[in-house]
Amino acid sequence: MARVSNYNTDGTLNAEDKWIGTDGAEGAENGKTKNYTVQSVLNYVEANLNQLTLPSAANDAAAALLNVPVGGLYHTSGAVKIRLT
């Protein structure tokens, strides 16, 4: 198999494109290399998005005190924000 860095870059994703990953579930498949489609990752994210918990902070400075990284998400009274500074 060639090095990943030698493969062409495809700038257009579609649902059937595949990513390579490692199975992390406990059991016989744990640690095995697998293909994951863009659609399967999207389905997983959509199904588990409600488990996402964001810290509550009044502003970027308060979010920084909560260890939210620059570019990280937090919320103020339910409004989702991105820490910029």
Q: Evaluate if residue 1 carries a pLDDT over 70.
A: no
pLDDT in tens, 25-76: 999 999 999 999 999 999 988 888 777 789 999 999 999 999 999 999 999 9
The conformation of residue 26, written as its DSSP 8-state character, comes to S
Q: How far apart are CA 68 and CA 62, in angstroms?
A: 9
Write down the pLDDT at residue 51. 75
> What value does the mean pLDDT take over residues 4-23?
91
CA nearest neighbour of 15 among 54, 42, 47: 42
Residue with tokens 């990943």, as numbered in its chain: 4
Domain residue ranges of the chain, discontinuous segments joined by + = 14-50, 53-85
pTM higher than the cut 0.75? no
At 14, the pLDDT band (50, 70, 90 cuts) reads: very high
